Amino acid sequence: MKITRIIEQAVPIDSNIRNAYIDFSKMDVSVVAIETDVFRNGKPVIGYGFNSNGRYAPSGLLRDRFIPRLRDASAEQILNDAGDNLDPHRIRTVLMTGEKPGGHGERSTAVGVIDMAVWDIVAKVLDQPLYRVLADRYRGGEIDEKVFVYAAGGYYQPDKGLSELQEEMRSYLDMGYSVVKMKIGGDTLDEDLRRIEAVLEVVGNGRNLAVDANGRFDEETALAYAAALEPYNLFWYEEPVEPLDYELHAAVAKAYSPPLATGENLFSMQDARNLIRHGGLRADRDWLQFDCALSYGLVEYLDIVWMLEENGWSRRNCIPHGGHQLSLNIAAGLGLGGNESYPGVFQPFGGFADDMPVENSYVALPDVPGIGFEAKSELYKVLQSVAS
């Protein structure tokens, strides 16, 4: 088995939205297509990968360092013992050769993009959905038939008032979501509370609403929001503070008793472990949002899962950031707590298979080989155009 071609292209995900930290109007993602000499149904197997929203396309890193390393590797360095499929763990070693420890950003995205394409190939060569491959390899074959998903939206947008916000949330309920998420911290606390009250009118109660501050608050603001939010008993209060300020996370956790969520801006097992060790989070309620596509991929994510379990956490505490089909496969195959979903934005990268409706905030996965990109037609069009 051989890799015959590796292509990278940056694709815009232009969106007229902003969270409390950045606007997305200049955001792009790298799409990588890896073609092999293995044929299935008369066509060469091609694996696709892309990074999640929120970090820019790491095109330069892919082209200058990581794609050349993969291209130059020997068969033994990248194949399994039988030589009939790629070995993602060995490929990870190839990609990280010559890289010093620490400094987990950007390159973690580049490696994550390649890793996604590699797992897509692994499952396609086995002619199985990836979630089944993962369940067989790492979970004794058990699969979650459907995965909890929540609708992430509620962004700040020009001319978006309370009624537009309510309309947006109503549309998510109509799509089959019962849990929704909205941004906070881009306005005053009073105004955000009005926005929250408006959404609660639509979704019924706090257990159906998560809020996300995108790491913006200082201690005083985080604690003021915590005190104001506590009575709503929300699904979660996400990224109240700077993602690497573990001590401040611990202070918020001490003051706020309902669930917190964080982790989307920690891009390695080492950073995730520091959050667990020093962040004061509570394994009986808090949520972890590490995103494999920004964090060296599924190979690293497996290390994060084992690390969590060694530290008394369950993988059910994990609901990854990113809203992509790789994390959905991981959730179903490894048994995570769920996955993010962006029904309105980051198209066509966000979202799941076309013919799989969301029901009561759960979604099933298609029975197609690989990660399932071929079952999401608008995304597959983009991926195919990169490969062609």
Q: Is the dihedral of CA 128, 134, 140, 144 positive or negative?
A: negative
Closest distance to a second copy from the beta carbon of 354 (Å) = 30
> From CA 60, how far away is CA 239, in angstroms rounded?
29
Closest distance to a second copy from the beta carbon of 167 (Å) = 28
Residue 12 interacts with a second copy (CB under 8 A)? no
Residue 64 interacts with a second copy (CB under 8 A)? yes
Q: Which of 11, 40, 56, 176 binds a second copy (CB under 8 A)?
A: 56
Closest distance to a second copy from the beta carbon of 86 (Å) = 24
Closest distance to a second copy from the beta carbon of 57 (Å) = 8
Q: What is the DSSP letter of 156?
A: B
Residue 58 interacts with a second copy (CB under 8 A)? yes
> From CA 54, how far away is CA 40, in angstroms rounded?
34
3-state helix, strand, coil in the chain (%, to 5): 40, 20, 40
Phi, psi of 31 (to 5 degrees): -105, 130
Q: Which of 5, 40, 94, 106 binds a second copy (CB under 8 A)?
A: 106
> From CA 306, how far away is CA 2, in angstroms rounded?
31
Task: Give, as ranges, the residues between 323 and 352 that touch a second copy (CB under 8 A).
Answer: none
Q: Which of 101, 158, 231, 312 binds a second copy (CB under 8 A)?
A: 101
Q: Which of 5, 40, 65, 139 binds a second copy (CB under 8 A)?
A: 65
- Pairing state of beta strands 3-12 and 28-40? antiparallel
Non-local CB neighbours of 341 within 8 Å, separated by 6+ positions: 149, 150, 151, 152, 177, 323, 350, 351, 352, 358, 363
Could you give the count of Cα atoms lying within 13 Å of 115 in the half-sphere of its Cβ?
A: 30
Residue 22 interacts with a second copy (CB under 8 A)? yes
Task: Give, as ranges, the residues between 158 and 187 that touch a second copy (CB under 8 A).
Answer: none
Closest distance to a second copy from the beta carbon of 24 (Å) = 9
Phi, psi of 349 (to 5 degrees): -75, -35
Nearest to 287 by CA among 315, 311, 322, 310: 315
Query: Which of 104, 181, 183, 249 is an active site residue?
Result: 183
Task: Give, as ranges, the residues between 244 and 263 that touch a second copy (CB under 8 A).
Answer: 244-247
324 is a catalytic site residue = no
89 is a catalytic site residue = no
Residue 221 interacts with a second copy (CB under 8 A)? no
Q: Which residues of 295-331 are buried (b: 16+ CB within 10 A; e: fewer)?
A: bbbbbbbbbbbebbeeeebebebbbbbbbbbbbbbbb
Stretch near a second copy under the rule CB under 8 A, chosen from 49-57, 135-143, 220-228, 378-386: 49-57
DSSP helix/strand/coil, 36: strand
Q: Which of 129, 154, 243, 372 binds a second copy (CB under 8 A)?
A: 243
Closest distance to a second copy from the beta carbon of 244 (Å) = 4
Query: Which of 104, 124, 181, 321 is an active site residue?
Result: 321
Residue 54 interacts with a second copy (CB under 8 A)? yes
Total residues in contact with a second copy, by rule CB under 8 A: 48
Nearer of residues 97 and 257 to a second copy, judged by Cβ: 97
Tokens of 50: 């892309």
Residues recognised as catalytic: 183, 321
Chain residues binding a second copy by CB under 8 A are: 10, 21-23, 26-27, 54-61, 63-65, 97-108, 214-215, 242-247, 265-268, 270-271, 273-274, 277-278, 294
